[in-house]
Amino acid sequence: MAYNFRLIESKWQNFWRDNDSFKVSDPKPGDKSSYILEMLPYPSGNLHMGHVRNYAIGDAIARFQTANGYNVLHPMGWDAFGLPAENAALERGAHPEKWTLENIQTMKKQLQGLGLSYDWDRELTSCMPNYYGLEQKIFIDFYKKGLAFKKESWVNWDPVENTVLANEQVVDGKGWRSGAQVERRQLNQWSLKITDYADELLTSLDTLKGWPDKVLKMQENWIGKSEGALVHFDVEGVSDEKIDIFTTRHDTLFGASFIAVSAHHPFLSHIKHTKALDDFIAQCDASGTTEEELSTMEKIGLDTGFKAIHPLDPSITIPIYAANFVLADYGTGAVFGCPAHDERDFDFATKYNLPILPVIETDEPLPYTGSGLIVNSEFLNGKTIEEAKAESLSRLMASKKGERQVTFRLRDWLISRQRYWGCPIPFIKCDDCGVVPVPESDLPVTLPKDVTFDQPGNPLDRHPTWKQTTCPTCKKPAERETDTFDTFFESSWYFLRYCSPNAKKPFDKDVVNSWAPVDWYVGGVEHAVLHLLYARFFVKALRDLGYLDFDEPFTNLLTQGMVCHETYKSQDNKWLYPEEVTKDRGRAFEAESGNPVDIGPSIKMSKSKRNTVDPLEILDTYGADVARLFVLSDTPPDKDFDWNVEGLDGCWRYANRLWRLVENYQDGSMTFPDAEASKDADLKLQKETHKTLKQIENAFKNNGFNKVIALHRQLERAIEDAASQVSQNIMHEALHVLFKTIETIMPHLAAEAFSVLFNKKIHTINWPEFDPKLVIDDTVTIAVQVMGKLRGTFEAPLDASKEMLLELARSTVSKYLDGKSIKKEIVVPKKLVSFVTN
């Protein structure tokens, strides 16, 4: 009978649910405990293959840990706030909450259909007041500690949608949804002071030994520590004005040919505006603020007519420009330009006819950014770059014209969003008292349900009553803050909430300390910076607020590769779904018309390229175990995985082979030879079982699930080969190991096998132990030389005597010894026998 996954999978899913099989209680002192976590999904409505791979990986780790005697916390929840829910409201008139909660219901069923070992009692849904209300308390605590603040910030403004856009939502200078040209605007916005932790976030990367190097590197670059100097330039003829600039190249100060300030630099507001200057600023504001945009757009500037005085030689003056390429919020928002040794400055100087004076000696064309000795620089001449930096800094310091300065690329985290579907920021705006936190007794501030989406802008802003309240301090009428949190706020602490999901406060300190940090965190590498950096920041800030006692959230990080599929394009240039295509000997055709189809490379599955495979169809045709087996086979989990039907079919056949074993051994039709006859075969299978078990265990320790699967196939073949030659107890041991080790990946089939073969509940059975005696090879390969030449090899018992080795060696190379007399015999135990003849 073919393997009936439908029956078996639903049977065990029901069993696990009805018996709370994966419910976990908090660790007691001395318990071996482990926290395994996959990044929580956004409830978009449907599971995709990336989810399946992510959760299959996490579940394999969790089940392995459980089998090894750990008390394993393995929870799941929903990152349920965010824009798509508002878009759905806009497009379909469904309330964001209704849309979200319905999606969660659907996706939860789909997840349960995968047979994942979650403790569903700990499920959290971030859009529910019992979750987001608690983070309002965290936010107020941040505020009291000076970690949350409101200030005027430059933002990307979408003039059609009337909202701020995150940098990632600006595509080619346009709003990602409206397509409108994004503008720069200054708005009063809430931010979190992640920059207070810049240094610690950087240095403690060293402690994250269990993180992939590429992620560590990305975080390091994102934090972007630069060591340099702050230099004060006086302005000629204006005694109380000076411009501070940040530079990492104070060795090149004598090559300065202009100063450039950003369009909203304070210096510009101190000087009299000409129409040209106003126009120039307006022109700068008409583009976005992202660094990427600034680096690609045409560099323009305007001479302010003012001149700065060189800090190392007051006889030199330098023109001051306003320029569009200077980032307002990096360093001081002002730079000195050294065209001979910086590409950007070179372009600018060429365009505006400014001097280009080389100060690093070189024969190469300018701009030259390499090393060399200093020239054209008075007292710095002849020095190396490093020497010149030191000298220039000490002179600047002596004359109070500069000091050492460390700057980070990391910006404070702007968390205000003019959005309905997010956590309300728990503050009240009072004309007299300013911004005042909502008193704790009034938390949570819940979202009103009666909102409309018929106009652009934030529905909370135009709600008739919600924002009217009284000031907690002076009791006068006041208004609520109508901005909501960036949804990265919710995902910055959810892993702490899972530890004590019913606590009245965000989480219980002792319980969190007993579970966390997370031992294995599994998710996409696309979160290498934002989410993973925010979560690290939260843990450090919460630690300093006394909420918990550790420094980092995630001890080991596994960033899984993408699930890829080849792409198909019809003759009229339309993407086609795999099911619309038939393939024949490497060529592809449209299934309906038979027209030829272009096959493109295998790339990440995405709806836009239609190269997706629907997990539900796979589950329906092959079952969860085969899908799980397939997404873990072939490639290590951190590498991209190529989806192909052949591989999937291979996994289906494998599941059936395993199932046939179950059937063969359950019905008693197998015969077992008597003990004497089977001795050799017994030992062989027994050894194969124990050796494979050891290798599988090692593969698990490195998350080499693809290796685990390959080893498993090897053991399965050994079992098939040994059929009816081995004793019953040996076969049972082999089957026990076979199914227990695959439980991590194919839990349903394995559970059924244990039930049928051994009448046991597999998830209560520990990981089998291999016998060290059975895994050592007890023979060695010995090389035989005659007159220094290798003439053969043979297998000998490890403990073979010298006489025995010589005997075996002689017979191995007998034809080389024929007719000769042996002058000398050399025996190197476990390695070599060498004959010298004459």
Binding footprint of Zn ion, residue count (CB under 5 A): 6
* Helical spans, DSSP H, in 593-634: 615-622, 624-632
Binding footprint of ligand ANZ, residue count (CB under 6 A): 17
8-state DSSP, 547: S
The minimum distance between CB 375 and ligand ANZ, in angstroms, equals 14
The minimum distance between CB 345 and ligand ANZ, in angstroms, equals 7
When the beta carbons of 137 and 225 are compared against ligand ANZ, the nearer one is 225
> What is the helix (H) or strand (E) element at residue 131, kind and residue range?
helix 129-144
The minimum distance between CB 191 and ligand ANZ, in angstroms, equals 18
When the beta carbons of 61 and 326 are compared against ligand ANZ, the nearer one is 326
- Tokens 């490890």 correspond to 798
C-alpha dihedral, 147 to 149 to 151 to 154, nearest 10° = 50
C-alpha dihedral, 734 to 736 to 739 to 744, nearest 10° = -120
β-pair type (427-430, 434-437): antiparallel
| Cis status, amide bond into 517, omega within 30 of 0 | yes
- Which option in ligand ANZ, Zn ion, none does residue 473 bind, with CB closer than 5 to 8 A by kind? Zn ion
Q: How far apart are CA 255 and CA 261, in angstroms?
A: 18
The minimum distance between CB 385 and ligand ANZ, in angstroms, equals 10
Q: Which two tokens stand for residue 244?
A: 């501070």
411 contributes a contact to ligand ANZ by CB under 6 A: no
Helix (H, G, I), strand (E, B) or coil at 610: coil
Amino acid at residue number 215 = V
Rounded alpha-carbon distances, angstroms, from residue 33 to 74, 556, 698, 761, 811 = 11, 15, 20, 22, 58
Question: CA nearest 299: which of 248, 352, 354?
Answer: 352
Q: How far apart are CA 79 and CA 316, in angstroms?
A: 58
- Tokens 């030199």 correspond to 316
326 contributes a contact to ligand ANZ by CB under 6 A: yes
When the beta carbons of 204 and 248 are compared against ligand ANZ, the nearer one is 248
- Which option in Zn ion, ligand ANZ, none does residue 432 bind, with CB closer than 5 to 8 A by kind? Zn ion
Binding mask 447-466 for ligand ANZ (x = CB under 6 A): --------------------
Residue 240 neighbours by CB distance under 10 Å:
7
Helix/strand/coil (H, E, C) string of 738-768? HHHHHCCCCHHHHHHHHHHHHCCCHHHCCCC
341 contributes a contact to ligand ANZ by CB under 6 A: yes
246 contributes a contact to ligand ANZ by CB under 6 A: yes
Report the site for Zn ion in 415-434 (rule: CB under 5 A): 430, 432-433
When the beta carbons of 335 and 562 are compared against ligand ANZ, the nearer one is 335
When the beta carbons of 226 and 317 are compared against ligand ANZ, the nearer one is 226
- Which option in Zn ion, ligand ANZ, none does residue 430 bind, with CB closer than 5 to 8 A by kind? Zn ion
When the beta carbons of 201 and 338 are compared against ligand ANZ, the nearer one is 338
Length of the chain: 838
Rounded alpha-carbon distances, angstroms, from residue 104 to 130, 303, 352, 451 = 16, 58, 59, 22
Span of 276-284, 337-345, 665-673, 737-745 interacting with ligand ANZ by CB under 6 A: 337-345
Please pick, from the candidates 89, 107, 322, 338, the single residue that binds ligand ANZ as defined by CB under 6 A: 338
Report the site for ligand ANZ in 167-226 (rule: CB under 6 A): 226
The minimum distance between CB 432 and Zn ion, in angstroms, equals 4
- Which option in ligand ANZ, Zn ion, none does residue 13 bind, with CB closer than 5 to 8 A by kind? none
Q: Which two tokens stand for residue 117?
A: 């070992």
793 contributes a contact to ligand ANZ by CB under 6 A: no
249 contributes a contact to ligand ANZ by CB under 6 A: yes
When the beta carbons of 338 and 380 are compared against ligand ANZ, the nearer one is 338
When the beta carbons of 433 and 545 are compared against Zn ion, the nearer one is 433
When the beta carbons of 360 and 471 are compared against Zn ion, the nearer one is 471
Please pick, from the candidates 71, 153, 156, 252, the single residue that binds ligand ANZ as defined by CB under 6 A: 252
- Which option in Zn ion, ligand ANZ, none does residue 433 bind, with CB closer than 5 to 8 A by kind? Zn ion
708 contributes a contact to ligand ANZ by CB under 6 A: no
Amino acid at residue number 397 = M
The minimum distance between CB 369 and ligand ANZ, in angstroms, equals 7
Span of 96-104, 240-248, 383-391, 527-535 interacting with ligand ANZ by CB under 6 A: 240-248
327 contributes a contact to ligand ANZ by CB under 6 A: yes
Bridge partners for 647 per DSSP: none
Q: How far apart are CA 624 and CA 630, in angstroms?
A: 10
41 contributes a contact to ligand ANZ by CB under 6 A: no
Cα 660–67–670 angle (5° rounding)? Answer: 25
Binding mask 458-477 for Zn ion (x = CB under 5 A): -------------x-xx---
Is the four-CA dihedral 751, 755, 757, 760 of positive or negative sign? positive
Span of 61-69, 323-331, 384-392, 807-815 interacting with ligand ANZ by CB under 6 A: 323-331
806 contributes a contact to ligand ANZ by CB under 6 A: no
Rounded alpha-carbon distances, angstroms, from residue 646 to 73, 77, 308, 621, 630 = 36, 34, 71, 14, 10
Bridge partners for 597 per DSSP: 588
User: What's the alpha-carbon Rg for the chain, to the nearest Å?
Assistant: 35
251 contributes a contact to ligand ANZ by CB under 6 A: no
The minimum distance between CB 313 and ligand ANZ, in angstroms, equals 16
The residues that touch Zn ion, with contacts defined as CB under 5 A, are 430, 432-433, 471, 473-474
The residues that touch ligand ANZ, with contacts defined as CB under 6 A, are 226, 246-249, 252, 326-327, 330-331, 333, 335-336, 338, 341-342, 407
